[in-house]
Structure 1
Amino acid sequence: MAFLSPSLLAADFYNLERQIKVLEENNVKYLHLDVMDGNFVPNISYGAGIIKSLRENTNLVFDVHLMIEKPENYIDDFAKAGADIITIHQEATKHPLRVLQQIKEHGIKAGISLNPGTSLSVLDYLWDELDLILIMTVNPGFGGQSFIPSSIDKIKETRKLINQNKDDILLEIDGGVKTTNLESLLDLGVDIFVSGSDIFNKDLNLMKEKIEYYLERI
């Protein structure tokens, strides 16, 4: 069974309470929370304070994706804010293994994210600490980008490596996932599909229709 993790980055913050309610009422389990610092990626999004406020009002699984430099300086804050999963970028820290261990010390799941140009070889010494691998299927930092076709082979290879090394690791993909290409991604062994601009919509009925489309297929 796979899951949908809608990305809050694409939400209408003016109507956020209503949109979160649509997710909950339509059996969405995860919420993908993209944290951007304006350094590791060009954009700035939100921080632990917003996540804490959300945590007080929903029981969705908080899938926190830190697109920030030196994430080791902020793990405690996001854990206390209510993260269920914290994923860091391999490229954002000199000591990814240590940061994964730091996350797990809080009793939550630890993930590693790899940019499109990052080799899977970086996983070689991380397996014991991993609960999730996030393959970026766009270059991180902006919503609404198109899926990079070469990501297909990388997703397939990651699935093989998970099966060989630690088969309870979740495989997540993020970037350009839409109703128009979902069918081509269903047989790749993905456990969590992140989709933002394709899910969140000011038209709540359209949001519901999109959610139903995803959940009926994955």
Structure 2
Amino acid sequence: MVRIHPSILSADFVNLERDLERIRDADGVHVDVMDAHFVPNLTFGLPMVQRIAEVTELPIDVHLMIDDPDTWAPQYAIRGVESVTFHAEATNDGVALARELRARGTRAAIALKPGTAVDAVLEHLTEFDMVLVMTVEPGFGGQSFMADMMPKLVELRSRADEAGVELALQVDGGITADTLPIAAAAGADVFVAGSAVYGHDDVAARIAALRDAGSLEA
């Protein structure tokens, strides 16, 4: 099933509650937390996520682009947050962190930068509910889709299927109606889209168009 998670990085922060309402037809809302250390950009932290959870019924998909997720990630396992994603490059023990997140009642997800091989997670697929394959370098919106990341998705989907693991595969970066089918054909089923959603007047129509694109073969 194709799931569309619009990224609020492309929303109007001054009118964020309005822009959350505009994406009510989406499957979730993607919230990027950046600390200006793990990535060069700075966005917001836990207070913003808590407030978003108070004003939307959409499942919240938190993506932590931060140092020391082993300490901070469990704090994001709050009511309204469906999943917490931390980076393989930042954690000291991804398996232990994933278990802690699950124990706190949220789905555990691990993200891979473009330069990180899937070997980092292949031996522990049962420990994660989702793997995020970055299709841009993390930290900024508006970058071009990296099609050379598709073999990672193919490998992850193949190994998950072989092991009988129910694993969501998310892609984030450069997702449009043109690139989404490429990622879907490689095995992705959760798609983060920023300007491809918020860059249009009819947001509901764009979400529907992206879902339709996911049923197409690349």
Please, what TM-score do these two structures have when normalized by structure 1? 0.92
Q: Report SS of the residue matched to 2:55.
A: coil
Q: What is the CA-CA distance between 1:89 and the residue it aligns to?
A: 0.4
Taking the aligned partners of 1:157 and 1:140, their CA distance within structure 2 comes to 21
Match 1:209 to one of 205, 211, 214:
205
Tell me if the contact between 2:57 and 2:80 (Cα under 8 Å) persists in the aligned partners. Answer: no
Q: Which amino acid aligns with 2:213?
A: R
Tell me if the contact between 1:75 and 1:102 (Cα under 8 Å) persists in the aligned partners. Answer: no
Taking the aligned partners of 2:127 and 2:210, their CA distance within structure 1 comes to 30
Where relative contact order (Cα < 8 A, 6+ residues apart) is larger, the structure is: 1
Taking the aligned partners of 2:86 and 2:174, their CA distance within structure 1 comes to 20
Q: What is the CA-CA distance between 1:166 and the residue it aligns to?
A: 4.1
Equivalent residue number for residue 6 of structure 1: 6
Tell me if the contact between 1:51 and 1:82 (Cα under 8 Å) persists in the aligned partners. Answer: no
Q: Would you say 1:78 and 2:115 are equivalent positions?
A: no
Q: 1:117 to 1:166 in 2, by over 3 A?
A: farther
Q: 1:20 to 1:210 in 2, by over 3 A?
A: same
Q: What is the CA-CA distance between 1:96 and the residue it aligns to?
A: 1.2
Taking the aligned partners of 1:130 and 1:61, their CA distance within structure 2 comes to 18
Taking the aligned partners of 2:112 and 2:74, their CA distance within structure 1 comes to 22
Equivalent residue number for residue 155 of structure 1: 153
Equivalent residue number for residue 192 of structure 1: 190
Q: What is the CA-CA distance between 1:61 and the residue it aligns to?
A: 1.0
Number of aligned residue pairs: give it: 214
How far does the alpha carbon of each residue in 1:93-149 deviate from its partner, in whole angstroms, 9 at most, with x for none? Answer: 121111111111101100110111111111144223111010011111110100112
Tell me if the contact between 1:127 and 1:166 (Cα under 8 Å) persists in the aligned partners. Answer: no
Equivalent residue number for residue 128 of structure 1: 126
How far does the alpha carbon of each residue in 1:132-179 deviate from its partner, in whole angstroms, 9 at most, with x for none? Answer: 010011111110100112112222112112112343111111111112
Match 2:49 to one of 39, 48, 51:
51
Q: What is the CA-CA distance between 1:48 and the residue it aligns to?
A: 0.9
Please, what TM-score do these two structures have when normalized by structure 2? 0.92
Taking the aligned partners of 2:74 and 2:116, their CA distance within structure 1 comes to 27
Match 1:30 to one of 9, 20, 28:
28
Equivalent residue number for residue 100 of structure 2: 102
Q: Report SS of the residue matched to 2:77.
A: helix
Tell me if the contact between 1:113 and 1:136 (Cα under 8 Å) persists in the aligned partners. Answer: yes
Q: 1:33 to 1:199 in 2, by over 3 A?
A: same
Taking the aligned partners of 1:23 and 1:125, their CA distance within structure 2 comes to 36
Identity among equivalent pairs (%): 35
Taking the aligned partners of 1:183 and 1:123, their CA distance within structure 2 comes to 24
